[in-house]
Amino acid sequence: MENKYKEAFVEVLEVLKNSNDTIKNKVSRNFINFLEKNKDKDYVAKIDFSNENWIDSLKQESLSVLALIYRDYLASAEEKEKLLVEEQEEFTRIEKELREKYSPDNIFKTHTKEIPSYSNATEENITDNNNSHSRALVNYKDTIFTKIKKWLKQIFNRKN
């Protein structure tokens, strides 16, 4: 398990420890044991509960685990159903975006894209697959200096 989640478990346990007894009693003992078992033993949560914005000091992963606790243990049946529907809609939206982005129908289609030509290069084939990284095959023409260099090498190699 990633270290950031282990640290998040420490923060969540600290929040639960400072919660009132009705909230503590609603959370499953098995879930708390899971958090205890998987927490980072060396990490110390630095949460100042006297500050009214203490929640801003929590890690994003901690907030996610607290949201899970709220949804599964603290929310009423009506709220739980609403949260599950919203979560499913969000997953569907993300899945749709990914399907459009990485569609098997469009993944092998090539789109041509012109790039400006440079003085020492010519364009041959430029492809761009779904606006991802484009790769250009470029033929380089020898400059006058490389031609002179090759000519001098030929002259000196003939004498040897």
Q: What is the CA radius of gyration of the chain?
A: 31
Give CA–CA dist 98/91, Å, rounded.
11
Chain segment 58-90, per-residue pLDDT in tens: 899 999 899 899 999 988 999 999 989 998 999
Same domain, 67 and 12: yes
Q: Is the pLDDT of residue 19 over 80?
A: yes
As a whole number, mean pLDDT of residues 119-137 equals 50
Higher pLDDT, 100 or 92: 92
Domains contained in the chain, number: 2
Same domain, 12 and 74: yes
Residue 126 is predicted with a pLDDT of 45
Q: Is the pLDDT of residue 115 over 70?
A: no
**143 touches 127 (CB < 8 A):** no
Same domain, 7 and 74: yes
Domain range for 23? 3-78
Boundary (domain end) residue, out of 78, 96, 131: 78
Same domain, 62 and 122: no
- Domain assignment present for residue 144? The answer is yes
- Domain assignment present for residue 18? The answer is yes
Where does the pLDDT of residue 122 fall: very low under 50, low under 70, confident under 90, or very high at 90 and above?
very low
Same domain, 13 and 62: yes
- Domain assignment present for residue 64? The answer is yes
Give CA–CA dist 127/140, Å, rounded.
18
Same domain, 72 and 125: no
- Domain assignment present for residue 66? The answer is yes
Give CA–CA dist 136/126, Å, rounded.
5
Boundary (domain end) residue, out of 33, 54, 78: 78
- Domain assignment present for residue 153? The answer is yes
- Domain assignment present for residue 87? The answer is no
Boundary (domain end) residue, out of 29, 62, 78: 78
